[in-house]
Amino acid sequence: MSPRSEGGGVRGDARGDANPRAGRRLEWIVRLHELPLLVGLVVLWMMLWQEISPMSLVSGIVVAIFVMRVFYLPPVELAGRFNPWYALRFLGYFLWNLSKASWEVAWLAVKPGPPPATSIIAVRLTTRSDFIITAVGLTISLIPGSLVAEVDRFASTLYLHVLGTPTQKEITAMRRDVRHLEYLLVHAVGSREEIRGLK
């Protein structure tokens, strides 16, 4: 027979149910493997508000947890490797393009003449990783003068709206920049199979 307390309850069950319930409550809030997604959503939230403060951090955490629990997000598969050298090269390349594009867009805004030519450019990526496709798209969207209009996940293709593309030369240069970003990201965080599959 199971040991019972004087009130008729089972002691072992009463003690054993408390911790699993608390664990389930904590697991519902955030799971360990979801921490990178949580951090990424909070950073994105602060970038959208263009503010780093305790209020934006707390509100970003609340919004991130809400999004993670209410909206379906497919699991992001990571390669499990990180190359600091290529990560630094990616950061330097991004900052260089960010500063250069800022000056170019500022000049296009004030120079006399007709409005600058724009184009919708399709860029086919080599990788099949949702994480790297998303990272490339976010990086391109953060650079002034370019924006991701659509993503074809199954074909690994980004459709970009690009400012200042009057000739095929600028369009080719934009495709080359996007593929170079992919190259750096794959070498920084991609799998060895993806590195071997780069064109």
So where are the chain's domains? 11-70, 84-197
CA distances from 76 to 8, 85, 129, 131, 139 (A): 49, 23, 9, 6, 18
**3-state SS, residue 179:** helix
Residue 44: partners with Cβ closer than 8 Å, 6 or more residues away: 138
Region label for 26, one of left (φ > 0), alpha (ψ between -120 and 50) or beta (otherwise) = alpha
The whole-angstrom separation of Cα 176 and Cα 103 is 20
Q: What's the pLDDT score for residue 27? A: 52
Q: Each residue's pLDDT tens digit in the chain (199 positions)? A: 444 444 444 444 444 444 555 445 545 555 666 777 788 888 888 888 777 888 888 888 888 888 877 876 666 666 678 899 999 999 999 999 999 999 998 888 888 888 888 999 999 999 988 889 999 999 999 999 999 999 998 999 999 999 988 889 999 999 999 999 999 999 998 888 888 888 6
Q: What is the pLDDT of residue 148?
A: 93
d(CA 159, CA 151): 6
Place of tokens 């992001």: 76
Which amino acid would we find at residue 50?
Q
Phi and psi at 172, nearest 5°, equal -65, -40
Helix axis angle, 130-142 relative to 168-189, nearest 10°?
Answer: 130
| Angle at the Cα of 129 from the Cα atoms of 127 and 131, rounded to 5 degrees | 125
Give 62's contacts (C-beta < 8 A, 6+ positions apart): none
- Measure the CA–CA gap between 19 and 67, rounded to whole angstroms: 27
Q: What is the pLDDT of residue 24?
A: 52
